[in-house]
A and B are shown apart, each in its own frame.
Chain A
Amino acid sequence: MSTHVPLSSGSPLLELAGVCRSFGGVVALEPTTLAVVPGEILGLVGENGAGKSTLIRLISGVLSPDHGEISWQGRGVELDSPRRAIDLGIATIHQELEYCGHLTVAENMLLGERWPRRWGGRIDWEAMRAEAGRRLLRAGCEVAADVEFSRLTAVEKQLVAIATALARDARLLILDEPTASLAAPDARRLIDHLKTIRDSGVAIIYVSHRLDEVLELSDRIAVLRDGELVHLAEAEALDGPDLVREMVGRPLQQVFPRTRDDSSTGDGPSSTTGNVLLRVQNLSRNGMFEGVSLDVQAGEVVGLAGLVGAGRSELARAIYGLYRPDSGTMELLGQPWQPKSPWDALEAGLVYLPEERKRHGLVADHDVSSTLAIGIRDRLTRWGLVREAEQRRRVTGMISAYDIRCSGPGQLVGTLSGGNQQKALLARWLERDPRVLILDEPTRGVDVGAKAEIHSVVDRLAAAGHGVLLISSDLPEVVGMSDRVLVMSRGSLVAECHGETQTEREVLQAAAGLAPVSREAEGC
């Protein structure tokens, strides 16, 4: 579907014409036509997996399009490498910045350029610092140029990255979730900063999940859904609910399955004294989380929302036994819970599905069979030896039960799609039949179909009396799937939303460290 492109003014800086890209048969981006003009901020929104990152990677030269043309200032260009994009004036600032931590700010800013020298070819460090200082100042960024880069705060790193890009005549800035790990005041600082940059004639593509920011900042907003550009309009013509509707594209009830009986948990935690599977009290670990208390009951999905860096995963890892908390107590299935290692957790019936499956979960060149079998290795072994026939049987069973699409147990797991990898990781824990599951971003980078399957698995688990702690940055998911949502911000639990207060807005407000919207939530 092609969308009419309203141009605000002037000739476009960047134009995409019918650009598309797919990965191994899965379409990541349908043919897309889009233009960006100088001096505008184009907001780019969409659910996780809607194709935003593919689009960005195409523009920044990381990926090449399968079809379609990209033109820059009216001329067709081939963006075959990130370097090429940078040379043209397209600067991408990712959430995870690449920098040399042990070098100074000035050196990082001038890396790859000529450094000022004095007689005898000596580097003029003073001039370098002054030059870097000038660039920072011009970009309106107050950071000392001679400190070690790794000592900067997150927002300072972002600002320095922007200043570096601007100093190299960047005409188009792409910001990918720049405020994701920033506290509210820092995010404010960045947003104000971006407005001044826009006014100087630079175009900005701003990708964010924080819709309020996008609405405030953008001149136009593009909405992606399932790899398709479904909406493109002036920001003034839109409001939050419009955006959400466009992003989701279907009523919420259909998205999230719910076969459970709502009444048992619908009244909130106070009414249920029943079967508490996991209880955490006053758990703290220095620099990670502080005084966290929560319960997970049988048959309940507890959502744990919060921004990146709020300490959710850190909390989960402490419960799972990867490291010890400094203080506080835990109970699992009514017993005191002091895990020495994740193995204790697995034996006791607690599993943790980690956040980044490539880094924390998989070995890309191991086959599906061994990836699955490792989860139930203790049950497959007798006298230290694996029962091969039993393993084959169980693995085949898992592949069909969880609908892991692969050519067979021998396929390398790295060649599976993201969704099937995730299903494999989930399957190997579910095969243990755990009582409590902690799922950390279970649907990140997963295609729509797999996402729905994972959701229905979670629902079935809860219906069968398991306890699920669902950590997710996908707001509709965490709100729609959970019986109640706990919100973490900067290492502490700041709110508990259930019943009427269990809305995306409420959760987002709390996560961002703002006061709750409605009065009922204040009591939590």
Chain B
Amino acid sequence: MLTRMTAPVRRRMVWLLAGNMGLLLLILACLLPGDTVPGAVSRLGTVLVDTPRNIAPEMLAAIGLTAIIWTGAIDLSIGSVMAVGGAVFAMGYSHGAPPLVCFGGCLLAAGGLVAGNGLLARWLGIPALIVTLAGLAAYRGLALVLVNVGVPGFDGNLTVPEEIFRVPGRDWAVWFLLFAVGGAVWCELFGRLPRLWLAHGSSPAACRLHGLDLSRLAVSAFLFGGFYLGLGATLYVSNQQTIDPARMALGFELSVIAAVVLGGTNIFGGEGSFLGTLLGVLFLYLARQALIYAFDDPHARQAVEGALILGVIGFDCVLHRAAHRMEELK
């Protein structure tokens, strides 16, 4: 796989590995005052033990979005899509459906919407960017309408006290994460489709010349993205006790895009790696953890996180800037 990655992606992965190590050390350094070294290390361990379940929804969504971005498209609506997933889950739950049905509904709803975005963009011939920007608002509205219609006596949020509903998102998160990430990496290692997505993003004209069906390729990427995002939504929903479609996963799309770009995927498509996305998500998560230790003001958190994400994306774009400009003038 390494030989098939382009040089910038490989370089990025090395940087990310180093960066993740650095962040771990930083968190450790924050824990050190007032403790012995072994004590701090074991506290770091307890901090990190929650990583899989906290990171799983974002990781799965990021992998899904990576595939979509590879083809040169994007999906801005994923936060709202997750809210729809949550709403469907809430509907199922409030009508007494068994956990499996609730989760299945959530997965299907979220996955279906993402795949629908891809189809709609193709069918209408307008950029995925616009379709999903519209989705950003429309699906949030849809989620709200759904919970109001489908959940009797809904008053802003729904509490799910039963432990059984938190099995996938909390207890099995590690396994979901392992299988899903493993599956994606396996696809990248041995599959043809990921390479074709990259080909689509790299040069649609070349793909057409070689007889590839561009529509099918683009829609397949959205289907793949939808499946992963649906899974992510399911884990997200089942990791928390209350469901609040108005605020659920608000702004999720940006941190996911940031993680994907950070992982070396070119925002314009054609270049990238699932492994890089994995490291990118991890980096953002660790950075956020480090922030918690560095800034104890909760009001500052969103600003600092926003600045961090902007910094990362800005840095990435500046790296391409000179080449981009020269290319433009040619």
Contact = CB atoms under 8 A, between A and B. Distances in A.
A101 B266 CA distance: 13
Interface in A93-120: 98-104, 107-108, 111-113, 115, 120
Interface in B235-284: 270-271
B202 interface: yes
A102 B209 contact: no
A100 B198 contact: yes
A101 B4 CA distance: 12
A98 B205 contact: yes
Nearest to A109: B210
Nearest to A323: B329
Interface stretch (B159-167, B175-183, B187-195, B293-301): B187-195
A250 interface: no
A344 to B, nearest CB: 16
B24 interface: no
Interface string A380-412: 000000000000000000000000000000000
B211 interface: yes
Contacts of B207: 100, 111-112
B212 A111 contact: yes
Listed residue (A99, A104, A112, A317) with the most chain B CB atoms within 10 angstroms of its CB = A112
Contact of A121 (B190, B202, B206): B190
A111 B199 contact: yes
B213 to A, nearest CB: 10
Given A86-B211, A123-B191, A123-B192, A108 B206 contact: yes
Contacts of A4: none
Contacts of A100: 198-199, 202-203, 206-207, 270
Contact of A103 (B189, B198, B329): B198
A332 to B, nearest CB: 21
Given A115-B192, A122-B190, A322-B329, A103 B202 contact: yes
A112 B211 contact: yes
Contacts of B211: 83, 86-87, 112
A104 B6 CA distance: 9
B3 interface: yes
Contact of B4 (A98, A104, A323): A104
A146 interface: yes
A108 B326 CA distance: 26
Contacts of A104: 3-4
Question: At the interface, is chain B mostly helix, strand, loop or mixed?
Answer: helix
Given A112-B212, A322-B329, A101 B192 contact: no
A115 B205 CA distance: 20
Contacts of A99: 203, 206
B187 to A, nearest CB: 10
A148 interface: yes
Contacts of B206: 98-100, 108, 111
A82 interface: yes
Contacts of A103: 4, 195, 198-199, 202
Contacts of A101: 202-203, 270
Interface in B1-51: 3-4, 6-7
Contacts of B326: 323
Contact of B6 (A98, A148, A317, A323): A148
Nearest to A122: B190
Contacts of B203: 98-101
B195 to A, nearest CB: 6
A282 to B, nearest CB: 22
Interface in A334-389: none
B216 to A, nearest CB: 12
Interface residues of A, number: 27
Contacts of B196: 111
Contacts of B199: 100, 103, 107, 111
A102 B212 contact: no
Contacts of A120: 190
A113 B195 CA distance: 13
Nearest to B213: A112
Contacts of A102: 6, 198, 202, 270-271
Interface string A108-152: 100111010000111101000000000000000000001010000
Nearest to A359: B330
A87 B211 CA distance: 9
Nearest to B325: A323
Contacts of A108: 206
Contacts of A112: 207, 210-212
Nearest to B272: A102
Interface string A310-322: 0000000100001
Contacts of B212: 111-112
A100 B207 CA distance: 8
Interface string B38-66: 00000000000000000000000000000
A323 B195 CA distance: 36
A163 B211 CA distance: 17
Nearest to A317: B329
B64 to A, nearest CB: 21
Nearest to A356: B330
Contacts of A87: 211
Interface string A205-236: 00000000000000000000000000000000
B324 to A, nearest CB: 13
A87 B210 CA distance: 10
Nearest to B206: A98
A82 B212 CA distance: 13
Contacts of B329: 317, 322-323
A100 B270 CA distance: 8
Given A100-B270, A111-B206, A317-B329, A146 B3 contact: yes
A100 B326 CA distance: 20
Interface string B292-325: 0000000000000000000000000000000000
Contact of B210 (A111, A123, A146, A317): A111
Nearest to B8: A102
A337 B198 CA distance: 45
Nearest to B209: A98
A32 to B, nearest CB: 25
A58 B165 CA distance: 64
A146 B7 CA distance: 13
A99 B190 CA distance: 22
Nearest to A322: B329
A102 B195 CA distance: 10
B273 to A, nearest CB: 11
Listed residue (A107, A121, A146, A317) with the most chain B CB atoms within 10 angstroms of its CB = A107
A317 B270 CA distance: 30
Nearest to B202: A100
A86 B6 contact: no
B3 to A, nearest CB: 6
A181 to B, nearest CB: 13
A123 to B, nearest CB: 5
B225 to A, nearest CB: 20
B264 to A, nearest CB: 11
Which 5 residue pairs of A and B lie closest in terms of their CB atoms, listed nearest first?
A112-B210, A122-B190, A100-B202, A98-B206, A111-B210
Given A83-B209, A122-B190, 14 more contacts: A83-B208, A83-B211, A100-B202, A100-B270, A103-B4, A103-B199, A111-B207, A111-B210, A112-B212, A121-B190, A123-B192, A148-B6, A317-B329, A322-B329
22 contacts: A82-B208, A86-B209, A98-B205, A100-B206, A101-B202, A102-B6, A102-B198, A103-B195, A103-B198, A103-B199, A107-B195, A107-B199, A108-B206, A111-B199, A111-B206, A111-B207, A112-B207, A113-B210, A122-B189, A125-B4, A146-B3, A148-B6
